[in-house]
Amino acid sequence: MALTNGQLPKTQTPADRDRASGASSSAISHRVDSFKPFVYFFYGTLMDPEVLQTVTALREPPRLREASIGGFEMKIWGGRYPTLLRQRDPQGRRIEGKAWRATTLDQCLRLQQYETAAYQACTCTIQFLTGEVVQGLTFKWAGDPTSSELSEGSFDLETWQREQKPLMS
């Protein structure tokens, strides 16, 4: 996604069109008056503080913490976007990433919009480097897990920041 003047462009994926029926893929169904802060786990471009700050309209750079989750495997969608699929073994391979605490419903809705309908929020158990464990949300693939749109691969934040992020300006 390109960041232009701090704004995200609106894009529509094939999955967005498929879901044009109005059904929400968001796991966020809290009412505004009952919203409680919770933690998100990121494994792609949202690990970049500037991207997360822009997406969530934060005034200050976010405080991200190194973390990992189990029970998922990473795939690449469309040759460039990382996504997660649930694994049967919740203790299997760990996905490394970063975690951040959302404090407003607006932040959560902005995250879902950024991820598009190709991803859906789902619960996960987040483990920090300190050993602390919390329940939170991450975004997983919302489509068919056997889709030919998915391929093997991984996401490297430093490579993305060096090669792809400059193209977003």
pLDDT in tens, 136-162: 999 999 999 999 999 999 999 999 999
CA atoms within 13 A on the CB side of 156: 5
pTM score of the predicted model: 0.80
In CATH terms, 33-168 corresponds, of 3.40.640.10, 3.10.490.10, 3.40.50.970, 3.40.30.10, to: 3.10.490.10
pLDDT in tens, 51-71: 999 999 999 999 999 999 999
For 130-150, give the DSSP string: TS-EEEEEEEEE-S-TT-TTE
pLDDT in tens, 23-50: 444 444 444 567 889 999 999 999 999 9
How far apart are the C-alpha atoms of 12 and 15, rounded to whole Å?
A: 8
When pLDDT is cut at 50, 70 and 90, the band that residue 99 belongs to is very high
Domain boundaries, the chain: 33-168
